[in-house]
Chain A
Amino acid sequence: MAGPVDLKDIFFVEADELLSALEEGLRAIQTGAQEADTVNAVFRAVHSIKGGAGAFDLKALVGFAHRFETVLDALRAGQLQPEAALLGALLHASDHLADMISASRQGTNTDPELDERVIMALEAQAGGGGHKEEEAFVFEPLALDGPFGMEFSPMPLVSGRRSVMLTFRPHAGSFASGHDPALLMRDFCAEDEVEVDLDLSALPEAGNFDPGQSYLGWTVAMQTERSDKDLLAIFEFIEGSCDLTLVSDTSMAPAPSRDPPPPGGRSPATAPPPVAAPSVPASPKPPAVAPAAAVPPPPAGAASAAGPRPTIRVDIDRVDRLVDILGELVIHQAMLTEAIEQSPGFGSVEVDRSLDQLRQLSRQIQESVMAIRAQPVKPLFDRMHRIVREASMAAGKSARLVTEGEGTEVDKTIIERLADPLTHMIRNSVDHGLEKPARRDEIGKPNEGVIKLAAAHRSGRIVITVQDDGAGIDRDKVRLIAIEKGLISATAELSPQEIDALLFLPGFSTATEVSALSGRGVGMDVVRSEIAGLGGRVGIASVRGQGTTLTISLPLTLAVLDGMVFEAAGQTLVLPVSTIIETLRPEASMRHNLGQTDSVLDVRGRCLPLIDVGMALGFRRSLKPGEGEIVVVVERGDEGAIALMVDGIRDQRQVVIKGLEANYGQIPGIAAATVLGDGSVALILDPTDLAATGPIPARPVVSLAAE
């Protein structure tokens, strides 16, 4: 049994999921895309949060959720119409609920006055009255016709007790999800006198007994004051994995089963619908037996729900541990290969084949483990809806977020570290990208701005774009500001791309008025460095009057990469294969000096900056004959290619990425480190950064003992 702390963690994890279901449902209602079950799903989400919060005695949360739920209940009962104002209040309440939950997670509370204000605002929208009194009940068999058994009209609240009869038969599947019939029955019977009849008819011979099956059913007759609704609520969570009927005596109409009736099999219990409906209380008792046939699982709401695939929750630390061990495995596999290649046995077909198979297997394990870490970006994208809502409200603009490719999977670590930069980019788009509504009217754009957030896989990387349909970048203004702030000289001639790139410079802000959201000048440069920290790049493109597109390109994983192992200045280094365009051994005639120290390499008519890796890293001051004779041309994204001089190329292989930050710190030009087959460490170059830092004065190299 997990300790209470673990359970609480689980509650918070589930609460997050419920919150996103809640928000998604509300959005669906807002856009009119709701299905029959949407309102119910929204209600259930809040209800489950309330239940969980109650278990951990989070009183403020329970109180808030309860009143929230009351409004939603009215909505689902059709007493309220989902108008824009009400939905706004509902969304606001759901945002606040998220805040309360995250406060509870940190062991604090939100301001009770604020709680009250938010919920009051919601209740005011809902028409001032919390829940209305249960209305007088008119028996309408039609109530049974809903495709889902969720809506059961309240039974008449006759003063005093009434008899009810329950039949309950859990399915085998309910045990697998942890339901204990004993607890449910205890709750059901708690307050009242009962007569229980155990149905053993399905119990097989001892020899055929399968402990995984469900053989028991119960029939409970009871006198109670509780309403059918309360009684059925006890079984709410086992819904769908049991046969359940509740029949009460006052009208003796069978309460609808919680399960959808079996197709065509509903009529026996209800008999022909009484034509002269209202006055039938004295009609003969219908058989108090449920439509007993095994009830199939609820038909999928629409095409969408084919039933959730079974999943397990795993502590991320365990997966990380697996990744670590895997890294060791890859290293030792490389060591083994190296040792075998040097041994006399090398060359035999069997050894070769086994090594090959080992290599393939370890690559497969790697891919599988990476797949475990991969998560869809949907939860991240879902969070951005709120950002757009709040940012547009604060900026006095109207904006809508459209997402695309939410199913795209990325390493969990990347998703986590993407939240902040993405939030900032979205805020920026709302704040700086979109025009004010009045201005949009003037130029004939729809009042509501659209921010499009999309994710896609592209050639081994993930590409995320944030696109707005706003004014685009005012390049003249950007240029003026950059001159004003001394970022560029007044005479500098810049291409449009270069001007756009100015936005990423530290200390740049175009908003003439600084807003609370963004525009404090700590924006895009921070975004860029955070993305760079993930091994990614940010690009910007803009069309005047049509909008701006920010593009983030990221590696799929932070754990392994295909690397080219090479030598420079006596050091073994690694370049990511994905960045390499070609390798060549240039003729002297291809090389041209430029100024005193710089030189370029003419590769088929394309002049590329030529940089010696050893010198750029400060490992040597000059080249001896035989050094730097091989050139690797690498891609640097938007900044074009460069030619790197190296001494020799050794190998191409998968390398495990080991961060330097943990024990040392970030180094410009170095993405990370790795461990090679011989157990030594090699640094992984970041070509983008390498060129950006330019040649660096050589440091006095610590001379190491010559072996």
Chain B
Amino acid sequence: MRASGFATDPDIRELVAFRTAGQDFCIDILSVREIRGWSRPALLPHAPTYVQGVINLRGAVVPILDLARRLGLEPIEDTDRNVIIVAAIQNRTVGLLVEAVTDILTVPASGVQPTPDLASETTRNMLRGVVVQDSRLIRLLDVAQLLPQADDVAA
């Protein structure tokens, strides 16, 4: 009941929050397909460094992006405790490799503040805004910007 009540309310957003490179991020729950454990990807040649490779997701070949590296942060530490958030972005399915999923947030649209001007250009391009919750600053990602851009892939 609760879920359906929120789903129809355009002012309420549900966000999946996660941690990587010591920072908190979140993305809209509607773009998340599933969350799964790490599995060893096959390397892709000529790929940008943040592309870890591809894995098999029930028959589909899905690229795995190291989110921290994608955002220009320290690369993720390799442990099999890392998780992959499988997200559907513009008709593509990609896996975002992060340290841990922390929470599901329910925030009103007014709870999302615009990205502060201080942020660097690269960071700001990837963010839609920030959410402050329990004295934590959670960055709302613009998933469409995360995809490898055409010039990245061609290399």
Contact = CB atoms under 8 A, between A and B. Distances in A.
A682 interface: yes
Nearest to A701: B43
A261 B99 CA distance: 83
**Interface-centre pick from A663, A668, A683 (highest chain B CB count, 10 A):** A663
Given A667-B47, A696-B45, A702 B52 contact: yes
Given A680-B56, A681-B61, A665 B75 contact: no
A669 interface: yes
B2 interface: no
Contacts of A660: 54, 61
Interface stretch (A165-173, A324-332, A544-552): A324-332
A223 to B, nearest CB: 65
Contacts of A670: 44-45
Contacts of B53: 681, 702
A699 B47 contact: yes
Interface string B60-93: 1111001000000001001110000000000011
Interface in A690-707: 696, 699-705, 707
A682 B42 contact: yes
A705 B80 contact: yes
A331 B61 contact: no
Nearest to A613: B45
A658 interface: yes
Contacts of B44: 664, 667, 670, 683
A262 B45 CA distance: 72
Given A702-B66, A704-B78, A663 B42 contact: no
Interface string A318-349: 00000010011001000000000000000000
B62 A663 contact: yes
A328 B46 contact: no
B15 interface: no
Interface string B34-55: 0000011111111101011111
A680 B45 contact: no
Contacts of B78: 703-705
A546 B46 CA distance: 44
B54 to A, nearest CB: 5
A139 interface: no
A106 B56 CA distance: 38
Interface in A360-377: none
Given A665-B148, A705-B78, A619 B43 contact: yes
Nearest to A664: B63
A679 interface: yes
A700 B40 contact: no
B66 A663 contact: no
A572 interface: yes
Contact of A707 (B40, B41, B92): B40
A461 B78 CA distance: 44
A665 B153 CA distance: 7
Contacts of B138: none
Nearest to B62: A663
B46 A696 contact: yes
Nearest to A703: B78
Contact of B42 (A683, A700, A701, A705): A683
B22 interface: no
Contacts of A699: 45-47, 49
A232 interface: no
Contact of A331 (B46, B59, B92): B59
Contacts of B131: none
Interface residues of A, number: 38
A619 B56 contact: no
**Interface-centre pick from B43, B66, B94 (highest chain A CB count, 10 A):** B43
Nearest to A571: B43
Majority secondary structure of chain A interface residues (helix, strand, loop or mixed): loop
Interface string B17-29: 0000000000000
B61 A663 contact: yes
A673 B42 contact: yes
A618 interface: yes
Interface in B84-133: 92-94
Contacts of A401: none
Nearest to B82: A705
A61 interface: no
Given A571-B42, A679-B56, A702-B75, A663 B94 contact: yes
B40 to A, nearest CB: 7
B74 to A, nearest CB: 13
A658 B61 contact: yes
Given A328-B59, A619-B45, A670-B45, A663 B40 contact: no
A400 B96 CA distance: 56
Contacts of A666: 153
Given A663-B92, A665-B153, A702 B61 contact: no
Contacts of A658: 59-61
A681 B55 contact: yes
Nearest to B58: A328
B45 A667 contact: yes
Contacts of B61: 658-660, 663-664, 673, 675, 681
A662 interface: yes
Contact of A673 (B47, B54, B80): B54
A336 to B, nearest CB: 16
Nearest to A672: B61
B66 to A, nearest CB: 7
A665 B154 CA distance: 9
Contacts of B59: 324, 327-328, 331, 658, 675
A680 B44 CA distance: 13
B46 to A, nearest CB: 6
A328 B56 CA distance: 11
Contact of B46 (A327, A668, A703, A707): A668
B41 A669 contact: no
B80 to A, nearest CB: 6
A658 B56 CA distance: 10
Contacts of A331: 59
Nearest to B92: A663
A670 B46 CA distance: 10
A617 B47 CA distance: 10
26 contacts: A572-B42, A617-B43, A659-B61, A662-B92, A662-B93, A664-B54, A664-B92, A664-B153, A667-B47, A669-B45, A673-B54, A673-B61, A675-B61, A683-B44, A683-B54, A696-B45, A699-B45, A699-B47, A700-B49, A702-B43, A702-B49, A704-B40, A704-B41, A704-B52, A705-B80, A707-B80
Given A666-B153, A667-B44, A700-B49, 13 more contacts: A617-B43, A662-B60, A663-B62, A663-B94, A664-B63, A664-B148, A668-B45, A670-B44, A670-B45, A681-B56, A699-B45, A699-B46, A701-B43
| Nearest 6 CB-CB pairings of A with B | A705-B78, A617-B45, A681-B42, A665-B153, A673-B61, A658-B61
